[in-house]
Amino acid sequence: MKNPLTSDFTIGFLGAGQLARMSAVQAFRYGMQVAVFSDRPEDEPVKFMTPHSYSGSFDDVNSMMEFAECCDVITLENEFIDSKVLRELRDRSGTPIYPSPESFALIENKLIEKQTFENAGIPVTPYSLIQDEDGLKNFGDKYGWPYLLKSSKGGYDGYGNKTVQNEEEAGSAFKKLGGQERHDILAEAFVDFTHELAVQVARNEKGIVVYPCCETVQKNHICVAVKTPAPVSSKIQKKAQELAIKATETIDGKGIFAYEFFLTSSGEVLLNESAPRPHNSGHYSIEGCVTSQFENHVRTVCGLHPGDPSLIKPSAVMINLLGTQKRTAVIENAEEAIAQPGGHLHSYGKLQSKTGRKMAHYTLLGDDTEAIYNKAVKLTKGIEI
């Protein structure tokens, strides 16, 4: 790969949502050009940030070739593409892709992901591949009800997931998720957890850095807030960070990776999910850390040394600002949040708002996590989008 600090060096994003947008901003900062390939017409956050905008299908390598040939390196902003497609795209275009298709193949399917990490000695939540109604019943008998059914590919923010309380619900959810016809369906035991934790890791041939362990606050399977550092013992924080590093090394990851963990009531740290890209749990790092997850995304896939992930203040909290209604997007009643010293609003430039859609976020830094969390909740409570 040529020197990424060459003036016409172009980084390409597969996916044009807010994660690519926030990484693209960091690419600009290094003088790079940005290209974007989108399979969704509603994916506008990056389209207005570059003249190099392409669209087509994630299933059709031909539709991606022009994009790939315009790039010096390609990276991911979501997991909706298949690693085989990625491999073909790389091999035909000659453009490197990081995280590599080989790393991605180890985690793209939730079943293979569990096996990959389990084999490396990383504790994961109890799971089983479900092939039929008997499987649904047996899993409930073994681990208890309720449990979680998940599509092994393509789920996010609660889509592709379903909590099932009994055999009847399990049977109907199994069908709704596509049975075995689309992707494998996985059952996951409900974990009796006290906290949901997350850690980001940036890694390439020049080095590896690990971000602080944060807590994600979830409502209806959607992350609504993040507290950093997580309000758990430093021993637990360190454990999660160690597992995150081990997981990244296990898949020989090059890029930025995020790992979500359950801290169980008995003090275990179990890996729940991984993502080969920047993650909602790391948005606080834009202002909260010396080097944000987005900057380290760009640095690591381009072969630059990963930057210092240290917090610049003792605490950082991030509040997701979800659409409150269906309309042309506009953020209202944000004056107080914007005027707050140390408060930082980010909007993703999506043209249309709808209820629950991730539209923006708000970060507040300070000295005491709970105090700034309460303040940030209060400051953002009246915001309408």
Angle at 291 between CA 288 and CA 297, to 5 degrees: 115
Residues 334 and 177: their CA atoms lie apart, in Å, by 38
What residues have CB less than 8 Å from 293, skipping those under 6 apart? 200, 202, 211, 256, 258, 278, 279, 282, 283, 285
Length of the chain equals 385
- Distance of alpha carbon 36 from alpha carbon 77, whole angstroms: 10
Q: Which is nearer to a copy of itself, 140 or 307 (CB)?
A: 307
Q: Is 382 in the site for a copy of itself (CB under 8 A)?
A: no
Is the link from the previous residue into 45 a cis peptide, with omega within 30 of 0? no
17-76 residues in contact with a copy of itself (CB under 8 A) are 21, 24-25, 28-34, 47-53
Residues 306-335 that bind a copy of itself (CB under 8 A): 307-308, 310, 312-313, 328-332, 334-335
Note whether 136 and 170 are within 8 A (CB). Answer: yes
Task: Using CB under 8 A, count the residues that bind a copy of itself.
Answer: 54
What is the smallest separation between the CB atom of 3 and a copy of itself, expressed in angstroms? 6
Window contacting a copy of itself (CB under 8 A); options: 85-93, 143-151, 221-229, 338-346: 338-346
Which of 123, 154, 231, 349 touches a copy of itself by CB under 8 A? 349
Q: Say if residues 150 and 185 touch (Cβ distance below 8 Å).
A: yes
Per CB under 8 A, which region of 146-154, 191-199, 244-252, 344-352 contacts a copy of itself? 344-352
Give min distance, CB of 354 to a copy of itself, in A. 12
| One of 290, 314, 355, 371 touching a copy of itself (CB under 8 A) | 290
| Angle at CA of residue 60, ends 54 and 62, nearest 5° | 70
Footprint on this chain of a copy of itself (rule: CB under 8 A)? 3, 5-8, 21, 24-25, 28-34, 47-53, 206-207, 290, 299, 304-305, 307-308, 310, 312-313, 328-332, 334-335, 338-339, 341-342, 345-353, 360
